[in-house]
Amino acid sequence: MPVASQPPVAEAISRALATLDLDSVRATYWAQNEFIHLDRLFPETVVAPMVDEVERGRAGINRNYIPRHKKGGSVSYYTLREQAPAILTLYRSPAFLDFIRRVTGAPVERCPESDPHACALYYYTEPGDHIGFHYDTSYYKGTRYTVLLGLVERSSSRLVCQLHKDDPAREVRELALATEPGTLVLFHGDKLWHKITPLGENEERVSLTLEYVTDPGMTPVKRFVSNMKDAIAYFGFRSVFGRRGTRRLSDASPGIGAAGNARARRGD
Ligand SMILES: [Fe+2]
């Protein structure tokens, strides 16, 4: 049963966004090659119910390990839309969508309901959990934008960002950020080269990501690659292709094997 929105959370999201100097945010976003980091943007009234949903989501974590690239746990949109009303309130917030559009200048939409990545939680809970450098490659016809929201930060892990990596004319600028609860990061998926450094002993880090695209169309070949990436690197085959998912195994063609893994490493 899909969850209903939470009006107090929606109102607090709108209020937090209304406090921003949008011209300044937009200028910084563009000066940083379509990347911005807003420290503790959202208050406790927004973050606390989401942290409760992080706790509830633990039962549904899918752990995965791709040698030399990533190790960690994920909970997909399929699960969140059934049991995470505060998180879904943010993803479906008209005020938040308007904010993304105004900062990026792009006519973005939410991803299709069939995309398990549309809105997902990433759990770094075991020593060494990490993800290596990558772009958030778009498998859609349109441009992909990623929002990352910190929810639990009890770690020495850092979101390391290399700005201007895609521009040979510019010097790369590296940032190492702690994603504290309520801290928001927004970036163009093809422009930000980024990673999460390994978790230490007795540490924990949980973040939420939201995905937006300018055109949700996808070619059959890219749908196949995207499905396999999500199944192998994130949510598991049962979640992506099973009863709760809306994708079918027949969406994927045979022969993925190592090629799929290689491409998965380029993904999020
Ligand atoms: Fe990423």
Ligand 1 centroid–CA 218 distance in Å is 20
Q: How would you write the pLDDT of the chain (268 residues) with one tens digit per residue?
A: 678 888 899 999 999 999 999 999 999 999 999 999 999 999 999 999 999 999 999 999 999 998 889 999 999 999 999 999 999 999 999 999 999 999 999 999 999 998 998 999 999 999 999 999 999 988 899 999 999 999 999 999 999 999 999 888 899 999 999 999 999 999 999 999 999 999 999 999 999 999 999 998 887 777 777 777 787 777 777 777 775 554 544 343 333 233 333 333 344 5
Ligand 1 centroid–CA 66 distance in Å is 15
Q: Is the dihedral of CA 42, 134, 73, 139 positive or negative?
A: positive
| pLDDT in the model for residue 214 | 97
Q: H helices within the chain, ranges in order?
A: 7-18, 22-31, 44-57, 77-83, 85-91, 94-104, 220-229, 237-241, 257-264
Ligand 1 centroid–CA 69 distance in Å is 12
| pLDDT in the model for residue 233 | 74
Ligand 1 centroid–CA 46 distance in Å is 23
Ligand 1 centroid–CA 135 distance in Å is 6
| pLDDT in the model for residue 155 | 98
CA distance 196 to 261: 19
| pLDDT in the model for residue 244 | 52
| pLDDT in the model for residue 5 | 80
Cβ(200)–Cβ(153) below 8 Å? no
Ligand 1 centroid–CA 195 distance in Å is 7
Number of Cα atoms under 13 Å in the Cβ half of residue 258: 0
Residue 91, classed as helix, strand or coil, is helix
Ligand 1 centroid–CA 118 distance in Å is 13
Distances (CA, A) of 105 to 86, 88, 90, 138: 26, 23, 20, 18
Ligand 1 centroid–CA 247 distance in Å is 22
Q: Bridge partners of 195?
A: 160
Ligand 1 centroid–CA 159 distance in Å is 10
Ligand 1 centroid–CA 127 distance in Å is 20
Ligand 1 centroid–CA 254 distance in Å is 27
Ligand 1 centroid–CA 199 distance in Å is 16
| pLDDT in the model for residue 231 | 79
Which pTM was predicted?
0.86
Ligand 1 centroid–CA 45 distance in Å is 26
